Chain A
Amino acid sequence: MSFDWAPPLIGVPGPQTPARAPQTQPYRPDTVADGWAAAGFEVRAASVRGPGHRASGVPRQDDFALATAAGSVIAVVADGVSNAPLSHLGATMVCRTVVDYLQRAADPVDWHDLLRCAGWALVEYAGRQLGETDPQRAETLLASTVVVALVRPDGPGRAVAHLVRVGDSTAWRLRDGGWEPLFTDPADPGGELLPDGVAALPRVPAEVDPVAVTLAADDVLVLATDGFAEPLGPGTGDLGRLFGDALTTPPAMTRLAWMLDFTGGSWDDDRTVLAVWPVPPEPS
């Protein structure tokens, strides 16, 4: 058996540099992949350190978490802000706090409170573990974006997802190979330049309105960090086709991680993709 393990090339070849060991504790793997099937859903997720952090020995600042709660799927993707030195821990704290909150949340969910709790986890961690009691120091050290989806069944093979986010991590409904963005992208309101900074926890917008989206059979809900979203663009290029084809049905977990290790151009950020499929019940 032979397989070409070279990562997919998107666009022109970029600089090649070796992956350096992260100079931080605790241990944090370069790549993680996960997936499972629960009643009515399949999920896959992978998070891969980008060439930039590999070259400079910085740990992967992206993270994700997956869980089930009362027949629903909880999906969280977070991206530690690059100039916050411990933001990889921030991203992980945010993911775990969101899961913990949603697993015990009443219906309807108080989305603003959810994000405030996720932000507070950073403040409390900075105080307890780092001795930094000023919330602004928590922001400087641990800031992280987040995108959250709570996906509930809505009849056989169908689902309704509610999503909130802080920052530029984002989500799509993938339908017939087309990437339908679920959030308006602040990076591209016809503006001339990229925004000067990224919104991130522990800052929370004054108003939080969840986006609601229905998932029919064959639809896929995809969450991702900007390390994937930016090269994806509107999804009509090579990367959009590669993932659009591969995510038609749940792929092998390692295949998703392999695809996410794509190279090319100056794309060097960490990248994370999490996908949820509503699955029709087996005919009995």
Chain B
Amino acid sequence: MAETAGRVLPVYLVADESVSMTPVVGELNAGLQSLHDALLREPLAAAKVRFSIIGFSDDVIVHSALSDLRNETALPQLSVRAGTAYGVAFSLLVDRIPADVRALKREGFAVHRPAVFFLSDGQPTDPGQWEPVYAELTDRERTPTAPNIIACGIGEARAETILHVATRPEFAFVATPGVEVGFAIAEFCTALTRSVIRSGQAVGGDTAELVVERPDSFRMAVDVV
């Protein structure tokens, strides 16, 4: 194929389906519905996003594989099951993300670094096991398609755990104590929608030097554009 088919951003929602999520899973499903509605109203943004919904507990379920949400009539519903084993979710992503990126490239797309939105309301029930899998997932040497992970903690999830899961400190969000968990979920879904719809490029934080001093030869060409 001579021309590429366009740019796409793969987005994975990885949601905690432990029993403790019972009171808020309805709000999370409603938030996903709003995301879907928003994308259907923004077909140009939707054309550049592929979305997957993954739920984890003691095991992991792919509720929907990476797909173009413009072709989906309804999103699957998250449910609640048992524990909070982070490792099974990261392990699935280690396999799935490189395969998904390869498939998109075969279709001719140029692919942005995938984004994972990780939501949990509890401490991991597999301490010592999830960390090595997480390290493999996020190490760009071992996993060239390593995702950016945006982590959101509600309820019992501790800030240090969420900071560990997020690939950058500014990608970690922990609900303020006292804030209703349902409200935090709504905020998370709003942030998710905004990020997905505005999947524009970020300014590169590369090695080039910021000009901070006026060069001697500078002259203002125009005062007002």
Hey, which bits of chain B sit against chain A, CB under 8 A?
Answer: 1-8, 42-45, 47-48, 101, 105, 110-113, 144-145, 198, 200-215, 217-225
Q: How far is the CA of A99 from the CA of B42 in the complex (A)?
A: 38
Within the complex, the shortest CB–CB distance from A31 to chain B, in Å, comes to 18
Within the complex, the shortest CB–CB distance from B192 to chain A, in Å, comes to 17
Whether A17 is near chain B, meaning CB under 8 Å from some CB there, is yes
Q: How far is the CA of A26 from the CA of B221 in the complex (A)?
A: 17
Near B by CB (< 8 A), chain A positions 23-61 give: 26, 51-52, 55
What are 12 A-B pairs at a CB distance below 8 A?
A55-B42, A82-B200, A100-B219, A113-B215, A120-B213, A120-B214, A124-B214, A135-B211, A196-B204, A202-B211, A235-B2, A267-B6
Within the complex, the shortest CB–CB distance from B35 to chain A, in Å, comes to 17
When C-beta atoms are compared, the residue in chain B nearest to A238 turns out to be B3
Given that A15-B43, A121-B221, A202-B210 are known contacts, is A81 also in contact with B203, CB under 8 Å in the complex?
yes
Near B by CB (< 8 A), chain A positions 71-119 give: 81-84, 89, 92-93, 96-97, 99-101, 110, 113, 116-117, 119
When C-beta atoms are compared, the residue in chain B nearest to A14 turns out to be B47
- Contact at A123–B222, with CB atoms within 8 Å? no
Within the complex, the shortest CB–CB distance from A100 to chain B, in Å, comes to 4
- Contact at A83–B7, with CB atoms within 8 Å? no
Within the complex, the shortest CB–CB distance from B221 to chain A, in Å, comes to 4
Within the complex, the shortest CB–CB distance from B223 to chain A, in Å, comes to 8
- Contact at A83–B200, with CB atoms within 8 Å? yes
Whether A283 is near chain B, meaning CB under 8 Å from some CB there, is no
Within the complex, the shortest CB–CB distance from A25 to chain B, in Å, comes to 10
10 A-B pairs closest in CB distance: A197-B204, A266-B6, A237-B2, A15-B43, A237-B3, A82-B200, A203-B208, A100-B221, A119-B211, A266-B47
Q: How far is the CA of A14 from the CA of B105 in the complex (A)?
A: 19
- Contact at B44–A17, with CB atoms within 8 Å? yes
- Contact at A166–B221, with CB atoms within 8 Å? no
Given that A52-B44, A193-B112 are known contacts, is A206 also in contact with B203, CB under 8 Å in the complex?
no
